[in-house]
Amino acid sequence: MIAVASAAFLGAQLNHVRAQSPGPLATLKEPLKQIVPSLELNQETVLDGLAKLNQSTTGLGFSVELPLGQTISAQAPKLRSFEVVLPPSTLESVLDQLCHLDPTFAWQQTGSQINVFPRALEKDTTYLFNRKVEFLEFKYVPDAQAAVFQTVARLPAPKEQIAIMQSGAAVNFARPWTASFRDITVREAFNRIAQQIGTNYGWQFTGAADFRIVTFYARLGTTPRTSEARKALP
């Protein structure tokens, strides 16, 4: 199921930093220091590696912004595949190694979320997720779809399309959500929305320049297939 909203694509510079605020973590004070087992990529991408990390770690959600294609009718940009085994190490070290393998991506920790995003967009002033909302208020919002639409509605023109794909995982909140934030980036807002669905929830941004898709999930899986998105288009 796909729902569509409008967003303004105007961003601010994002530095590759790891936020020090630990966020609402129930189990670990320093989640980046937890030791993860050896990680094997067998002709797999960094996205596959992140999914495996998400399965083997606790206290964090994983959210990934993928490079977009030019149009939803064309093949999405292909990620590089690797044949490598990374030895057991801290989560922080393995994330660094994955982004060194494929420098397409950079990462940061923001509270209880690991955000992975295209490195080339760190300084892109038109990129959605770098944009700050001066004041964002939710009043009895029932689910992630409504929260996303309200977030992007707070952005100024020019307006651009964004969609929500629901593929199995529920996006309802346990109870209607009321909260307010100041000077919050769209990325941070989406992190908050994911956390409101459930502990360790994350989100993925994919699609194409003419049809952008956000998916929320309990654990990171594979990239939503654009063929599925096309079937749902009117």
CA distance 109 to 176: 27
CA distance 116 to 153: 24
The pLDDT value given to residue 18: 34
The pLDDT value given to residue 84: 97
CA distance 38 to 22: 25
Name beta bridge partners: 132. Answer: 185
Reading phi first (left if > 0) and then psi (alpha if -120 to 50, else beta), residue 110 is in beta
List Cα–Cα distances, 5 to 114, 144, 163, 196, 214, in angstroms. 25, 13, 6, 20, 11
pLDDT tens per residue across all 234 residues of the chain = 555 554 433 222 223 333 333 333 334 678 999 999 999 999 999 999 999 999 999 899 999 999 999 999 888 899 999 999 999 999 999 999 999 999 999 999 999 999 999 999 987 878 999 999 999 999 999 999 999 999 999 988 777 688 998 766 678 999 999 999 999 999 999 999 999 999 889 999 999 999 999 999 998 864 433 333 333 333
The predicted model scores a pTM of 0.82
The pLDDT value given to residue 76: 86
Burial of 102 (0-12, 13-18, 19+ CB in 10 A): middle
The pLDDT value given to residue 221: 66
List Cα–Cα distances, 225 to 15, 69, 137, 155, 208, in angstroms. 30, 13, 32, 28, 11
CB-based contacts of 136, cutoff 8 Å, min separation 6: 150, 151, 154, 180, 181, 182, 184, 189
The pLDDT value given to residue 4: 56
